Amino acid sequence: MRAADSQGSFLNRISIRRNQVVSMDGNHEQDLEDLELFQKHVADRFSDLLSSSSEDAADALLSISWLRKLVDVFLCCEAEFKAILVMGRDPSQISKPSVDRLVPEYFDRVLKALDVCNAVSHGLESVRHYQKLTEIAITALEHRPIGDGQQPQAAERTWSFGRRSAVNRDRAAAGQFRSLSWNMAKGWSASKQIQAMSTNLVAPRGGESSGLASPVYVMSTVTVFVMWALVAAIPCQERNGLPTYFPVPRQLVWAQPMIALQEKIAEEWKKKKEKNRLAGLLEETQRLERLGQSLIEFADSFQFPGETERLEEVAAQVAELAETCKKMEEGLVPLQQQIRELFHKLVKSRTEVLELLDQSGKLSASTM
């Protein structure tokens, strides 16, 4: 995998400098080279995500497989960022203005990201529940050939959606998701968490753009984007008011594919909001929702013995439901494992850097 290969090469090169601790001023060219390579890797990885996000692609935008790639991208970026921040560097460099302000701000975003990871993990449990309900409906539809005059109604009763209207179906599904994922603190809001994470997300200017402030900003932006995309895709507690935009300067080359993805996801969110469908943008659940609505409409209008062409169409839809559930069965647990890995990596990195800063502060105090 190209992302993993580039990460390994990058980390190996920086590790050579582990015992070559010099001041930033004395190694400025090397720092600039590391920063340029880091930004290139971020651009390449998000370009790959963008190119694989078409509807016809195997990793369609906000599908389970696409989200797994997104989390992998984050883990690679985070590992490289920590290498730039820590490996082969005098800890006192992290304590210099304005890095001494930006690094704590970044790790404050990390704390908020940990809450988002918990919310997303709970949301994935609700998606798995949704999948199981769909499998019950599939079993009911496959138990006997459709057309016996009773089977469609039996399957419809099994289905988890309501019947009165499309709006009621969507509200019922969204309410079910919320109740199943309501494991965060009372009053906790995914949308407010994302808004808080994007506060003070300002690109460095002047001399800061060539120092440590720049990779901190890059990683802060990557963190906000990834958490925002996960919240948009997975049902989380209280997403009303989820921002569809956070400012990223378009002139930054590394950010351009990320901005393009942000615009595509925001457009999907707006479409779903207009239809009162806010259970999430996960591609598989949207497909289940679309197919389920079609099958319910079929059951509502079914008259024995049924038209052969329509029965064949329904059979194809049931097969598509089964295939989608199979993909969910294969992908949801690995995605949950990745979210847990992401959580623990963030905790570990935050602890390591804060300990390093604490040691640097104690060393400075002892020499005064």
pLDDT in tens, 240-272: 888 888 889 999 999 999 999 999 999 998 888
- pLDDT at residue 138, as a whole number: 87
Cβ-proximal residues to 147 (8 Å cutoff; 6+ apart), any chain:
304, 305, 306, 311
Burial class (CB in 10 A: 0-12, 13-18, 19+), 279: buried
Burial class (CB in 10 A: 0-12, 13-18, 19+), 12: exposed
Amino acid residing at 171? R
Phi, psi for residue 222 in degrees, rounded to 5: -60, -45
- Average pLDDT value for residue range 271-282: 73
- pLDDT at residue 148, as a whole number: 52
- pLDDT at residue 297, as a whole number: 83
Instruction: Label residues 56-95 b or e (16+ Cβ within 10 Å = b).
Output: eeebbbbbbbbbbbbbbbbbbbbebbbbbbbebbebebbb
Orientation angle between helical segments 213-233 and 190-198, nearest 10 degrees: 160
- Give a yes or no: residue 54 inside a domain: no
Phi, psi for residue 248 in degrees, rounded to 5: -135, 120
238 versus 364: the higher-pLDDT residue is 238
- pLDDT at residue 55, as a whole number: 62
Orientation angle between helical segments 64-86 and 283-301, nearest 10 degrees: 160
Is the confidence at residue 302, as pLDDT, over 90? Answer: no
Number of domains the chain is built from: 1
- Give a yes or no: residue 242 inside a domain: yes
For the four alpha carbons of 280, 284, 285 and 288, in that order, the dihedral sign comes to positive
- Give a yes or no: residue 53 inside a domain: no
Is the confidence at residue 307, as pLDDT, over 80? Answer: no
273 versus 249: the higher-pLDDT residue is 249
- Taking alpha carbons only, the member of 208, 227, 260 closest to residue 35 is 208
- Give a yes or no: residue 5 inside a domain: no
- Give a yes or no: residue 85 inside a domain: no
- Give a yes or no: residue 245 inside a domain: yes
What is the C-alpha separation between 234 and 282, in angstroms, rounded? 6
Are 222 and 74 in contact, with CB atoms under 8 Å apart? Answer: yes
- Taking alpha carbons only, the member of 303, 239, 305, 226 closest to residue 273 is 239
- Give a yes or no: residue 117 inside a domain: yes
- pLDDT at residue 311, as a whole number: 81
- Average pLDDT value for residue range 133-147: 76
353 versus 336: the higher-pLDDT residue is 336
- Give a yes or no: residue 248 inside a domain: yes
165 versus 30: the higher-pLDDT residue is 30
Domain of residue 258, residue span: 105-349
